[in-house]
Structure 1
Amino acid sequence: MEEIAKLTNGTAMDKHNVSTTLNYWNDPGDGSHPTPIFIGKGRITNERAHNAHHFIVNDITGEEDQHSLDKTGFEYVRHQSCEEDFIDEQSIQLAYYDECKQLLKTVTGANRILIFNHKVRRGPTQWHHLGLYNLKNRGPVTKTHVDQSYFGAELRLRWELPDEADELVKKRYQIVNIWRPIATILKDPIAVADARTVADDDLVEADMTENDFPGKQWVVRHNPEHQWHYKYRMTRQDVLLIKCFDSKTSVARRALHSAFEDAAHRDEESRQSIEVRCLVLYDR
């Protein structure tokens, strides 16, 4: 956080804003539900129709402190990890998970963090089309979405903590993704939308089954009022916290997110990143 403070209190920085397209769900307008997604047995099946819409994605470098989980639904922090390559699964689930839990407790003030999975991405942009066992080449998700709908968040809570869920839903809880580069990000950076510019009417609940968990997420109807942001040239020490759900209704409750193409770096090596999905639990 000290490094962020130095950036925001210093001189104005050159911005690397990007003119690009973001992919939104193609609503057929007949009331039909989005095509379900199935993930498991080494592959993902995603046949939802999306359309590309033009946006300017604004670089927030030097203005990180203007965004927070409760204000805009996302937050950038500086954090040094003991992990470097994120190859050893045991080390990720022990050492890195512990780091993530401490980081979220510090940022949110929550008393308990439960990590329910993580995703490492090193694959090409169009990895979905690689066929059987495409999860071995998992790459960026280039479709606007939120990982859990409001109902989907409760489904996840009840799936992970079935014996406690009836009491936990009476208190505040969140789902927050901790997103970190494994190497400096140039190709296919991640964008997040200011939650204040996204109405609930823009969100459509969709089925996503992963390893037998019957989840529900948000897909998104296009709205030119959405304001998209990112941080240019994120390094391994730049961590993006993305709120997917908050039971508290007086704050930002979710942040749309998507990878996008920056034409200036189209020919760079495939992006490498890790995201850790966390239930954030409070005692009241």
Structure 2
Amino acid sequence: MPRDVDTILHYYADPGDGSEPTPIYVGQGTVTNERKMAQVQVTVHDITERESEFTLDKTGFQLVTRPTTAAACVADNFENVDLIKSEYFPDTVNLLKEETAATRVFIFDHKVRRGPADWHSRGQGNASQRGPLHRVHIDQSYDGADFLVKWFLPDEADTLLQHRWQIINVWRPLHTIAKDPLAVADAHSVADTDLVEARVVYRDHTRKTWTVKAPPAGSPPHKWHYKHQQTTDEVMLIKCFDSADDGSVARRVPHSAFRDKEYDDAPPRESIEVRALVFYHGV
């Protein structure tokens, strides 16, 4: 049976003075995130038995049942980065092509998370303890998405950006999820005015993301969803960007880990997230 959860999500605490959010700094194995957040009470609705209602075009996220073919990665518990790139990346490319009918998929990043929820506060070297992210966010802003195509595919960017394209995260549990599950918001329930562009600063470049404000008083709440006890064969596709801006499809999906008090004593959540540029024209 579906199991909804009343919980707290951490939204951006906008000071209201027009100042930019505190940047996140990434470098030398350390992530520094001192952005101020506000706690907001929400209900996260379980999509169990309703999975087919949620699609990339309709809501911006989609749960796909797809066991991985990367047996060596499973046996290694996704510890070996070379194995992830040689076995799991191609498996993920195939999954995305089959689910979206894309002609080309370019993986530009991945994150394995198996650490504690307070990993941000652990100082120098905390990236090696990377755990769930309890902050409502979208990985790329609209300008930030364009930048990634130009950064990773500079010789082809002008042509690729003329056609529809997307950024999709492929999020898979390494073990059935109990603690710190992943919440995703129905894209159409989140207004662009709730999004605030923010910077992530790397040694050699800067990326732009969305941090997310709670809806203003009197506005409908954001619609949050998750899959209770999501298994290793259940993959959540999360659309971070879609170049289609005519209102016909969902464009971007806020997401965040959240606390389910029933599982406070469970082992830390383990997951792998692959981030991909998805194209529908050209080679």
Q: Figure out how many residues of one structure are paired with residues of the other and give that number.
A: 271
For residues 147 and 224 of structure 2, what CA distance do their matches in structure 1 show?
28
Partner of 1:229: 225
SS of the aligned residue for 1:129 comes to helix
The residue number in structure 2 matching 1:267 is 265
Task: Give the residue type in structure 2 aligned to 1:278.
Answer: A
Alignment of 1:73-84 (within 5 A): 73-81=60-68, 82=70, 83-84=73-74
- Tell me what 2:108 maps to: 116
What is the SS of the residue equivalent to 1:114?
strand
1:33 to 1:72, Cα distance in 2 relative to 1, 3 A = same
- Corresponding residue of 1:238: 234
Question: Which shows bigger deviation, 235-244 or 209-218?
Answer: 209-218
Partner of 2:181: 189
| Within-5 A mapping of 1:27-66 | 27-66=14-53
AA matched with 1:75: Q
CA distance in 1 between counterparts of 2:153 and 2:140 reads: 16
By how many angstroms is 1:210 displaced?
3.4
Q: Distance in 2 between matches of 1:212 and 1:17?
A: 43
Q: Percent identity?
A: 50
The Cα of 1:213 is off from its aligned counterpart by 3.1
Match of 2:277 among 270, 279, 282: 279
Could you tell me how far 1:212 is from its partner in structure 2?
A: 2.6
258, 267, 273: which is aligned to 2:256? 258
Shift of 1:113: 0.3
Q: Deviations over 1:11-39 (max 9, x none)?
A: xxx22110001000000010100000011
- 1:89 equivalent to 2:81? Answer yes
After TM superposition, give the deviation of residue 152 of structure 1 in Å.
Answer: 0.3
Partner amino acid for 1:251? V
Equivalent in the alignment of 1:18: 5
In the aligned structure 2, how far is the partner of 1:159 from the partner of 1:211?
Answer: 14
CA positional deviation for 1:90: 0.8
Task: Indicate if the aligned counterparts of 2:170 and 2:236 stay in contact, CA closer than 8 A.
Answer: yes
| One-letter code aligned to 1:229 | H
Structure 1 position 211, deviation (Å): 4.8
- Residue number in structure 2 paired with 1:201: 193
Aligned to 1:127: 119
User: Secondary structure, in 3 states, of the residue corresponding to 2:253?
Assistant: coil
In structure 2, runs of 5+ residues without a counterpart are: none
| SS, match of residue 119 in structure 1 | strand
1:101 aligned onto 2:93: yes
Q: Distance in 1 between matches of 2:64 and 2:87?
A: 19
Tell me the distance in 1 between the aligned counterparts of 2:184 and 2:94: 23
Q: 1: CA distance between counterparts of 2:37 and 2:63?
A: 28
List structure 1 segments (4+ residues) > 3 angstroms apart after TM superposition. none
CA deviation after TM superposition for structure 1 residue 88, in Å: 1.2
Whole-angstrom distance in 1 between the partners of 2:272 and 2:256: 14
Q: Output the CA distance in 2 between the equivalents of 1:231 and 1:144.
A: 17
C-alpha deviations, 1:249-284, integer Å up to 9, x for none?
221000000000000001111110000000001117
Counterpart residue type for residue 27 of structure 1 = D
How far 1:199 sits from its partner (Å)? 0.7
Name the Cα RMSD after superposition: 0.9
TM-score normalized by structure 1? 0.94
1:192-226 residue CA offsets vs partner (Å, 9 max, x unmatched): 00001011111010001235331000011101520
* TM-score, reference length from structure 2: 0.94
In terms of mean alpha carbon deviation, does 205-214 or 135-144 score higher?
205-214
Deviates further, 62-71 or 82-91: 82-91
**1:87-123 deviations in Å (ceiling 9; x for gaps):** 1111100110000000000111110000001000010
Q: Show the counterpart of 1:4.
A: none
Matched position secondary structure for 2:84: helix
Contact kept? 2:2, 2:49, Cα under 8 Å: no
